[in-house]
Amino acid sequence: MAIILFADDETDFRSAVAGVLRSAGHRVDEASSGEEAATFLRKDVFDVIISDLRMPGGNGIDLLREAASRIPDCILIILTAYGSLETAIEAVRIGAHDYMLKPVNVEALLRKVELLVRHQATLAENRFLRGALETALSPTGFVGGSGAIAELRRLIAKVAPTDSTVLITGETGTGKEVVARSIHQASPRHDRPFVAINCGSIPESLLESELFGHTRGAFTGADRDKRGLFEVAGSGTIFLDEIGEMPLTLQPKVLRALEAREILRVGATTPIPVSARIIAATHRELLQLADQARFRADLYYRLNVFEIAIPPLRSRPEDVKPIAHHLLERHARVMNRPTPSLEPEALMALEQYRWPGNVRELSNVLERALILNEGARIGLEDLPGFLKGALPGVGDDLKQARHAFERVHIKRVIEKHGGDKPRAAEALGIDLSSLYRKLGDADRANGD
């Protein structure tokens, strides 16, 4: 679905074109004059603007020029019954994607719009795939080759070019803000503000003012008007982290910002239009909170247009090694020292640990190890004691150590596949009888 602004002073023609575009699944705002179109443009972010060249209250060239400055990636199409070479050159010069003479074939216009929308989406996805997202402020840069990370990249690339609201779910430390920033970086809003706020870290008495702003005299100490973060974000992105911690009293105001695209400052009576894209994140089960009357169900369904669930690190142990090497390089660069390598035993301990704190915990462990060891290699002795307990208890015998490692690895793969041993055996590249044999008779008897 594209968000389209269609400006034309011919009522019948405008209604006919808008009807065809809506039937194809697009959202269309209609303007009958240049002045009305400019008002729409200042209130919302559009994917496509189709404008007549000559209208009351301003011409199409002026409208497209303003649109090009406000929304650089917007698709601009000019329509006119008064075609001239000079006008066509001017339209192209300011960034118009097409110039069509009236009378316009409506079906041809629809095909052109959808072709251009797909092209813009492909460009955004290519920016992502080329690694543009890796330049975002990120503790991991989406390092990892697991299927889960590949799927995460795919979902971000799909939703980034749209204006859809996104709900990011996942345990603490999995990188929810990283995903939000990546969506923003790959979106048409990438050159506009990204504003983040943790809804659980600010007292309720201050959170409303932070989000929505206040007027002078609204409360004691409000000696001047203040813009809230929804206004500061402008036509960029506002990231509401830990939305599940937001007080119930403020949730209707967020719902209004989503549905009516307007907010009300504390102490004000006149609403203010907002156009920021909303991305929310939580480590909680919002539907459970709704059942407990601690979160509004209508807000949950409005936020959950497109959900991205980030898997915990323990479910993708194959990503631990590349993430660990990346984090070591990152921390070493900050400390202005060469990047050390990980000794095999230390790496095994990192891979076997379950990481309840996910990537954030892994980052802290490696930063600590770098502080303790200024040499060229990080060993098991440089890691916290609880990590040493993640290793299988074996002596010096190499064959015994290999079998112990195999058992641990097989159990992790079985866990990754939800306890489905046949699928785990297939993933390991062995038959089911070999899997049971490697686990050992005792594990088989216990059903492990």
What's the CATH code, domain 316-387? 1.10.8.60
Give the residue extent of every domain in the chain: 3-125, 147-311, 316-387, 398-446
Please tell me whether residue 273 adopts helix, strand or coil conformation.
strand
233-247: buried (b, 16+ CB within 10 Å) or exposed (e) per residue?
bbbbbbbbbbbbbbe
Q: Per-residue pLDDT for 90 more than 90?
A: no
Architecture of domain 3-125: 3-Layer(aba) Sandwich (3.40)
pLDDT at 448: 44
**pLDDT greater at residue 134 or residue 78:** 78
Q: Using CA of residue 406, residue 407, residue 412, residue 418, what is the dihedral sign?
A: positive
- The mean per-residue pLDDT over the stretch 122-139 comes to 47
Q: What are phi and psi of 28, to 5 degrees?
A: -125, 125
Query: What average pLDDT does the segment 214-227 reach?
Result: 85
Q: Supply φ then ψ for residue 274, to 5 degrees.
A: -130, 150
Contact 73, 88 (CB under 8 A): no
Where is average pLDDT lowest: 77-81, 131-135, 182-186, 402-406? 131-135
| Most confident listed range (84-93, 214-223, 268-277, 418-427) | 268-277
Return the biggest CA–CA distance within the chain: 88
Question: What pLDDT, on a 0 to 100 scale, did the predictor assign at position 363?
Answer: 92
Q: What are the tens digits of pLDDT across the range 34-57?
A: 888 888 887 777 888 888 887 887
Whether 293 shows a pLDDT value over 90: the answer reads yes
Share of the chain above pLDDT 90, in %: 37
Local confidence band at 242 (pLDDT 50, 70, 90 cut-offs)? very high
Q: How confident is the model at residue 77, as a pLDDT?
A: 87
In this prediction, residues 394-415 reach a mean pLDDT of 64
Helix (H, G, I), strand (E, B) or coil at 181: helix
pLDDT value for 445? 32
71-85, 123-137, 227-241, 333-347: which is most confident: 227-241
The per-residue pLDDT for range 248-259, each reduced to its tens digit, is 999 999 999 999
Q: What is the mean pLDDT of residues 227-239?
A: 92
CATH 3.90.79.10 fits 147-311, yes or no: no
**Strand locations in 34-106, DSSP E?**
48-52, 75-80, 98-101
pLDDT band at 397 (very low <50, low <70, confident <90, very high): low
- Mean pLDDT for the stretch of residues 325-350: 89
Does position 441 have pLDDT exceeding 50, yes or no? no
| Residue 366 three-state SS | helix
- Check whether domain 398-446 has CATH 1.10.10, yes or no: yes
- Angstrom distance (rounded) from CA 394 to CA 166: 47
pLDDT at residue 131 in the model:
42
The pLDDT of residue 2 is above 90: no
Beta sheet of 194-198, edge-to-edge order = 194-198, 237-241, 277-282, 166-169, 306-309
- pLDDT: which is higher, 78 or 363: 363
Indicate whether 307 pLDDT > 70. Answer: yes
In angstroms, the CA 299 to CA 301 distance is 5
Q: Say yes or no to pLDDT of 317 above 50.
A: yes
The yes-or-no verdict on residue 218 having pLDDT over 80 is yes
Range of lowest pLDDT (58-67, 230-239, 427-436): 58-67
In this prediction the pTM is 0.61
Question: Same CATH fold, 147-311 and 3-125?
Answer: yes
Give the per-residue pLDDT at 250: 94
192-196, 298-302, 393-397: the lowest-pLDDT one: 393-397
